[in-house]
Amino acid sequence: MRLLEEAVILTLKEYGLEGERSGGETGVWFDVGTSKARKICALGVKTSRWVTMHGFAFNVNSDLSYFGNIIPCGIADKQVTSLEKEIGRPVDMKDVKEKIKSYLIHLFEMEII
């Protein structure tokens, strides 16, 4: 889980943003410990038949209005944000995918053939 968070944190740095972890809460955040705390990436784990799967939802160009209808991740007192909102412009999804893929390959010491 921490390596998935790290891949997102490193990707955010490429856009001039400082993502961080929040103690006791998974995911990637901005302004942890302040009234401006907001989540940009949620992580999850699923276990079924002795197999564990991990995944993440990285808000890139997301329509954040949908989050007004739910309590995201069960956390009512913090906001949700997106890469687009943080940098003030839409982001090329292909570029984001390539950046995060590169970090995942490095962090997990993978070889893609």
Q: Which residues are catalytic?
A: 73
- With tokens 């705390």, the residue in question is 37
Asked if residues 74 and 39 have their Cβ atoms less than 8 Å apart, the reply is no
DSSP 55-80: EEEE-SS--GGGGGGS-GGG-TTSEE
Q: Count Cβ neighbours within 10 Å for each residue of 57-76 and write b for 16 or more, e otherwise.
A: ebbbebeeeebeeeebbeee
